[in-house]
């Protein structure tokens, strides 16, 4: 069974609770249940942290064999974190960068990602569906 790890970064624990106009009204936990039902052939693990170093530690622990693919929404660290970009480069497991909103329709500071050059692929702007598309891409590739 293919193992996929989804990592969500800062503030994404608030999904479904605040700003539904941008991020939708579903909690990630509810969405994850549906995702797991849609892909019974995959083991989908989930990790969320508001802390940069914890995200890096999880990338390291999953990135040398534990996971076949990682789906990462690093939240605002996307636009600031050279350290997460280095971690993506350091591990063996391919990382797909995802964003719920279309960051290119938003403020200028969200247009740049430190992570994109290190990621295997990028999926942006499809709402929570971005995660499913990333899972699909990992399963198709393997
Ligand atoms: O669109 C995305 O997925 C983002 O990664 C979300 C980040 C933002 O900083 C990026 O530019 C784009 C913010 C996540 C905040 O999530 C919230 C969810 C509900 C309520 C408040 C914040």
pLDDT band at 141 (very low <50, low <70, confident <90, very high): confident
pLDDT tens, residue by residue, 60-115: 999 999 999 999 999 999 999 999 999 999 999 999 999 999 999 999 999 999 99
Mean pLDDT of the chain: 96
For ligand 1, whether the C-beta of 22 sits within 6 Å is no
Which tokens is 128 given?
């929570």
H-only helix segments in the chain: 20-23, 28-38, 52-62, 82-90, 129-141
122: exposed, middle or buried (Cβ count in 10 Å: 0-12, 13-18, 19+): middle
For ligand 1, whether the C-beta of 62 sits within 6 Å is no
For ligand 1, whether the C-beta of 123 sits within 6 Å is no
Distance 29 CA to ligand 1 centre (A): 16
| Contact partners, residue 112, CB within 8 Å, separation at least 6 | 79
Task: Give the predicted TM-score (pTM) of the model.
Answer: 0.97
Q: Say what percent of the chain tops pLDDT 90.
A: 92
Is 104 strand, coil or helix? helix
């Amino acid at each position: 069974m293919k193992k996929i790890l989804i990592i969500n970064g800062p503030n994404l624990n608030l999904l479904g609770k605040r700003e539904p106009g941008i991020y939708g009204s579903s909690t990630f936990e509810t969405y994850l249940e549906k995702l797991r039902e849609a892909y019974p052939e995959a083991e989908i693990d989930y990790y969320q942290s508001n802390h940069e170093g914890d995200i890096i530690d999880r990338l390291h622990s999953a990135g040398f064999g534990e996971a076949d693919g990682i789906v990462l929404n690093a939240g605002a660290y996307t636009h600031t974190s050279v350290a997460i970009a280095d971690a993506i480069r350091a591990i063996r497991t391919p990382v797909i960068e995802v964003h719920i909103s279309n960051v290119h329709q938003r403020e200028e500071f969200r247009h740049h990602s430190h992570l994109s050059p290190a990621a295997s692929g990028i999926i942006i702007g499809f709402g929570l569906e971005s995660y499913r598309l990333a899972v699909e891409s990992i399963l198709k590739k393997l």
